[in-house]
Structure 1
Amino acid sequence: MCSLLLIAPALAAAQSGSVPKDVLKLTVLPGWRTTTGTHMAALKIQMKPGWKTYWRAPGDGGIPPQFDWSGSSNIRSVQFHWPRPEVTNTNGMRTIVYHNEVIVPVEFTPAKPGQPLTLMGRVDLGVCNDICVPYSTSFSATLSADMTKADPVIRAALAKQPMSAAKAGVRRATCAIEPISDGLRVTATITMPSTGANEVTVIEAPDQNIWVAEASSVRSGNTLTAITEMVPPSNAPFMLDRSKIRITVMGSKRAVDIQGCTG
């Protein structure tokens, strides 16, 4: 048996108002134990019509979601499988969001294979309508190792992930890195077919504490060039592992997830 939960959130007030109590509901979908021994579950986030929350890399105007699993047991690692988000522009500022509802598959690797997982989690995220405010909620569940039937709802969410680089025909991704006064400038050059009109490139650092500017990008045939700047808390140049840079390219036809680049 799996216990599902939704706990009343701690609401944060904004100057122009506060979040309605029923604006967001978070449910743990228990999922199943996979053939490789991991457990595929999901977080279902439902919002009132017109409200939105942010993707893992929300843009300069967004609040990135932060998860804390410290109260959980039998968890060795956690991997999120984020569905493709929406790219919006408000007052000249790009944000990357989900409207109304999103199901985020979460894959857990047990520390003790074959044993149940106990989730005691907390998430801090941003929710927006006319105002944007931080929002926190806790959740818990027990995920049994006996659950082996795949959930079609979670499978559908997994199918909405950006394509892998290999599947999308990415032939090469290189990153040139140069120091700037307060960090690094990263120029990514990617050989890949177009993802469609209104192509947007998002570059992520391996450490969420590093601020990453909105990338500017230009395409010439099968070559996409994107430039961004990364600024760490120290406001100084730093060592950056290219293999851990993550690049997402989103266009009108598809989205592509590129894990790492070379020099």
Structure 2
Amino acid sequence: MRNIALAFLALLLGANPSSALASSSDWFETQGGRIRLITAGQPDEAGRLKGMLEVDLLPGWKTYWRDPGDAGVPPQIDVSASENIASAEFAFPAPERHDDGSFKWAGYDEPVALPIIFTLKSPAEAALIEADVFLGVCETICIPAQTRLTLDPARDAENPEDTAAVEAAFAALPAPAKPEFGVSSAREEGSKLIVEAKVPGDPASAEFFLAGADGYAFGTPERVEKEGKTLFSLEILARPDSVPAGDGLHYTLVTDAGAVGGRIPFM
């Protein structure tokens, strides 16, 4: 009887592919939109596998960048319940600065794809992603979207639609900063951080986003043109007692010529 039941279950799964694990999760429906995870391709020799969190927002709704600013919470992902997954790290397309009258925040008010790098513990072995995802989806108030999204990255790994979507998400990321487009210096002046930026195009179009982390927090950047230089002044709201190890704080610089990203060393 047990063998018959198992065979019947396999038949059902074969007849209904949506009930079987695939390289994209089911959609999670929430007020204001829906979210799902997708992976594409095979892990590289270091075990890195590309994927993305697709956030399909309804008109009038928004979600947040890696550091929202005055209000909101950044997207979070926890893969500790997964099999053979060591870590997952978001990357972020260039955000926009928003002012709703009460708060200024950095994020997205249209559907957005957040690239993810999953790292397998053992690249040659099978993996199962069980990702606990949390993000704020907001209209006039914020609705926490919290769920577990499950997928098997090896099942239908070469799906052309999923592959194209993940490739497009990574292609939309800010380019690496370079000497002629990026932060050229950052210094403290009293309670402020002064950042000098090299920007192509119209300096008046420049927006600067700096993500607080490891005990650092900053106010909204204010752009200043001084002696032909494009500067951004940020209030230092919090800092750790000692300088952390690591590469520094993530920044994104946006102009009418495009967007770049990089790091500012810890102070």
Query: Which of 230, 233, 242 is the equivalent residue of 2:236?
Result: 230
Change in 2 beyond 3 A, CA 1:195/1:32: farther
Query: 1:200 matched to which residue of 2?
Result: 207
Change in 2 beyond 3 A, CA 1:54/1:171: closer
Alignment map for 1:85-100 (pairs within 5 Å): 85-91=95-101, 93-100=103-110
Q: Secondary structure at the match of 2:152?
A: strand
Deviation at 1:223, TM superposition (A): 3.5
Deviations 1:47-103 (A, max 9, x none): 222211111121213322222222123223333232222322221642222224111
Paired letter, 2:86: R
Paired letter, 1:254: G
In the alignment, structure 1 residue 165 sits paired with structure 2 residue 177: yes
Deviations 1:160-195 (A, max 9, x none): 1112102x7337632223675xxxx32222344346
Give distance in 2, aligned partners of 1:24 and 1:8: 9
Change in 2 beyond 3 A, CA 1:33/1:172: same
Structure 1 contact 59–96 (Cα < 8 Å) conserved:
yes
Structure 1 contact 125–134 (Cα < 8 Å) conserved:
yes
Query: 1:17 matched to which residue of 2?
Result: none
Structure 1 contact 3–142 (Cα < 8 Å) conserved:
yes
Change in 2 beyond 3 A, CA 1:242/1:143: closer
Query: Which of 210, 214, 222 is the equivalent residue of 1:216?
Result: 222
Q: Secondary structure at the match of 2:59?
A: coil
Q: Percent identity?
A: 24
Query: 2:35 matched to which residue of 1?
Result: 26
Q: Which moved more, 1:145-154 or 1:111-120?
A: 145-154
Give distance in 2, aligned partners of 1:113 and 1:145: 15
Gaps of 5+ in 2: 1-20
Change in 2 beyond 3 A, CA 1:73/1:191: same
Query: 1:245 matched to which residue of 2?
Result: 249
Gaps of 5+ in 1: 10-20
Structure 1 contact 45–102 (Cα < 8 Å) conserved:
yes
In the alignment, structure 1 residue 78 sits paired with structure 2 residue 88: yes
The structure where helix makes up a greater share of residues is: 2
Deviation at 1:39, TM superposition (A): 0.9
Structure 2 contact 28–36 (Cα < 8 Å) conserved:
no
Paired letter, 2:42: R
Structure 2 contact 203–230 (Cα < 8 Å) conserved:
no
Structure 2 contact 62–110 (Cα < 8 Å) conserved:
yes
Structure 1 contact 115–144 (Cα < 8 Å) conserved:
no
The TM-score normalised by the length of structure 1 is 0.77
Change in 2 beyond 3 A, CA 1:131/1:90: same
Deviation at 1:146, TM superposition (A): 8.2
Change in 2 beyond 3 A, CA 1:258/1:95: same
Give distance in 2, aligned partners of 1:238 and 1:213: 20
The TM-score normalised by the length of structure 2 is 0.76
> What is the aligned-residue RMSD (CA, Å)?
3.2
Structure 1 contact 245–260 (Cα < 8 Å) conserved:
yes
Query: 1:5 matched to which residue of 2?
Result: 25
Change in 2 beyond 3 A, CA 1:134/1:230: farther
Which structure would you say has the larger Rg?
A: 2
Q: How many residues align?
A: 244
